[in-house]
Structure 1
Amino acid sequence: MTQTLVDAYDTLLLDLDGVVYLGRRAVLGAPEALEQARAKGARLAFVTNNASRTPGAIAQHLTDLGVPAGPEDVVTSAQAAARLIAEHVPAGSAVLVVGGMGLRTALRAHGLRPVTTALDEPAAVVQGISDTLSYGLIAEGALAVRRGAWFVAANGDATMPTGRGELPGNGSMSRVIATATGIEPVVAGKPEPPLHRESMIRTHARRPLIVGDRLDTDIEAATRAGVDGLLVLTGVTTPLDLLTAAPHHRPAHIAADLGGLHAAPAEVRREGGGWSCGGWTARWEGRQLTLDGGGDPVDGLRAACATAWEAAGDGRADEDAVKPALTVIGL
């Protein structure tokens, strides 16, 4: 029996937005792919930069979408931020929360005291995305940071994918306090180490695969942690983004969606002056990437990426030089 991609790993560290779901609906085929992975013995851990909701609320959302999960299966940037703060401030310290219930719950789990005003003289300020975030709360956070509170951001995502499109993320919102105070936050979420460390502590993974839809968070996190990353094309990353990716944003695997977990690992091989995958062969000719053949468009993208990345070396491929290849494969 041919080994599938998931067989090589004991734990899948899965991003949520853009991978498992988009807003209130599951990504097509995701519940079935994850059920199959679990049946084959893979541990599923849902690792999210979103700090607004509690692990219990996220687990219930997943279950409602057909992906059974409990709070113990969810790892959030709020949990990573809370552990980080607990390691740097005295036990029982006040922490001003510029965010939602996910941060408050995580802080209490580490023996810290969530507050909402700078008058409480918090030892730290932690910010996470929340759809009820107010100017007043942001202002309190800025006051506390100016007075010496340690500033932590749950994540630095500039945007977050939803069923309506990309909306401002915590990275954009935390710029308000950073700009007002001149103090940059310490970031707990992907691609920074605290969230990966939290994931490893909670899952005890030995052969993890980080699965995500973003190069600058999920795939960079995999690169920095020295583990493999799978980039799925159901979220924010486009084929052009992949072709022009810098070295630390280049995934070990590329798939259209989570169904790729159950296919044999793609064989991208050196052939002549280029790279081949499936029925496609890509070459760098003159100042342009060329692609010939047919079959699965994702195989064409894999061959094109290998060729573009080799030509770019430690840099990034030129957009105009690689765009013609996307026209050939229809992506």
Structure 2
Amino acid sequence: MTAAQAGTQGATLRSLYDVLLLDLDGTVYRGAEVVPGAREAVADTDSRVLYVTNNASRRPGEVAQHLRDLGFPAQPADVVTSSQSAARLLAQRIPAGSPVLVVGTDALAEEVAGVGLTPVRTADADPVAVVQGHSPETGWAILAEATLAIRAGALWIATNVDSTLPTERGLVLGNGSMVAAVRSATGAEPVVAGKPAAPLLADAITRGSATRPLVVGDRLDTDIEGANAVGADSLLVLTGVSTVADLLRAPVAQRPTYVASSLGCLDVAATALRVSARGPWPVSFDDGDLHLGGPGPASTGDAPMEALRCILDIAWANPGFGRIVATDDAARAVLAAWGPVH
């Protein structure tokens, strides 16, 4: 039984879990900017917090320092990166001392060296594996070296396959976009370490000795799908990549336990944050459309999020639905707050 199923009426979300596994980009910060409410939510907790990131471009100590600079409590041991998980996967699959072609930053190369392998930067070194992680300096030359090595039979491990990366300026291309270029050139598929694959979150759960972990993130296709892959409850926060429209059409593997506007929800009753059709906003499925009405007397006042949690169960049960039809002014205001949903 999950913590969500075992939760008592009125218990806050954070109180149900022994470890919070927080995504970074789009959840805690966007580049150099703190996501509003995140700092206060994380600083004011007795729960164990681990920061779990698909971004393999920085050392754990650098990530922890960035977090401290932004006002978050963080030590290097609190940071779990996809580069660490990728290095573990390499060490399990190839002999000690083997050359590994690194596509990524020196931080990724250090993780490779730390598990007893030899990082190299050229296919002429006859690497038995390629590990590919995000770096803003990645260019054609190193992608060409990776292509040569993979086509020669090298094992290929990607730290993550996020197609985009949230920044304070908006979404930019992520490691998955670079992985796609190598995939196109080789016809190969990488072993993936980061979310939504299980290794990264499994490593975080082990490090935190978690029995009731909560995965928190802003992406359905990485954070939430990854949580479901390891059987953990999840919270989607709408502060990063995934939108209301994405959530309404989410496939089964990407459906979260809880939905909220931001991390500021951690002290709200968990039952109020769960996706459930048994809420104060009436929803029906009629002639292929979803019909949303105004709230009943049990409304808490957070209309857009409350109505969203009410409609999701019915939207997911009818994935081919057409429109969302508002039946009164309150519902029309909610639809306007959600933004485009078709």
TM-score normalized with structure 1 length: 0.92
Secondary structure at 1:87 match in 2: helix
User: 1:304 pairs with 298, 307, 311, which one?
Assistant: 311
- The residue aligned with 1:33 is 41
Other structure's SS at 1:266 match: helix
Q: CA deviation at 1:136?
A: 1.1
Q: Please name the residue that 1:170 is paired with.
A: 175
Unaligned runs of 5+ in 1: none
Match for residue 47 of structure 2? 42
Q: Does 1:148 pair with 2:153?
A: yes
2:313 aligned partner, one-letter code = A
218, 221, 225: which one aligns with 2:223: 218
Whole-angstrom distance in 1 between the partners of 2:75 and 2:310: 39
Counterpart amino acid of residue 13 in structure 2: L
Say whether residues 1:10 and 2:18 are aligned partners: yes
Aligned residue type for 1:321? R
Deviation at 1:64?
0.5
Residue 57 of structure 1 is matched in structure 2 by 62
| Mapped partners of 1:88, 1:162: distance in 2 | 34
**Matched residue type, 1:287:** G
Q: Distance in 2 between matches of 1:232 and 1:269?
A: 12
SS at match of 1:167: strand
**Amino acid paired to 2:287:** G
Tell me which amino acid in the other structure corresponds to 1:303: C
CA distance in 1, matches of 2:206, 2:286: 47
Contact 1:269 1:276 in 2 (8 A): no
Separation of aligned partners in 2, 1:293 and 1:157: 37
Contact 2:292 2:324 in 1 (8 A): no
- CA 1:105–1:250 in 2, change beyond 3 Å: closer, same or farther? same
Corresponding residue of 1:94 = 99
Distance 1:269 1:292, change over 3 A: farther
> Could you say what secondary structure the match of 1:173 adopts?
helix
Q: Is contact 2:277–2:311 with CA below 8 Å preserved after alignment?
A: yes
Give the number of equivalent residue pairs: 319
Q: Alpha-carbon deviations, 1:170-219, whole Å to 9, x = none?
A: 11101122111111111111011111222122211110000000011111
Map 1:1-331 onto structure 2 (within 5 A). 2-37=10-45, 41-267=46-272, 275-277=277-279, 279-294=280-295, 295-296=301-302, 297-310=304-317, 312=318, 316-318=319-321, 320-322=322-324, 327-329=332-334, 330-331=337-338
Give the superposition deviation at 1:119.
Answer: 1.2
SS in 1 for 2:165: strand
Conserved 8 A contact 2:259-2:273? no
User: Unpaired segments of 5 or more residues in structure 2?
Assistant: 1-8, 296-300
CA distance in 2, matches of 1:82, 1:267: 40
Q: Which one-letter code corresponds to 1:142 in the other structure?
A: T
The Cα of 1:247 is off from its aligned counterpart by: 1.1
Is the 1:12–1:45 Cα contact (8 Å) retained in structure 2?
yes
Alpha-carbon deviation of 1:19? Answer: 0.3
Identity among equivalent positions (%) equals 49
Q: CA deviation at 1:135?
A: 1.3
| 1:102 Cα deviation from its structure 2 partner | 2.5
Q: Distance in 2 between matches of 1:122 and 1:275?
A: 54
Q: Contact between 2:54 and 2:81, CA under 8 Å: does it hold in 1?
A: yes
Deviations 1:129-150 (A, max 9, x none): 1001121111111111111111
CA contact (8 A) 1:282 1:307 kept: yes
| C-alpha distance in structure 1 between counterparts of 2:60 and 2:218, whole Å | 21
Distance 1:324 1:242 in 2: 18
Could you tell me the TM-score, scaled by structure 2's length?
A: 0.89
The alpha-carbon deviation at position 327 of structure 1 amounts to 4.4
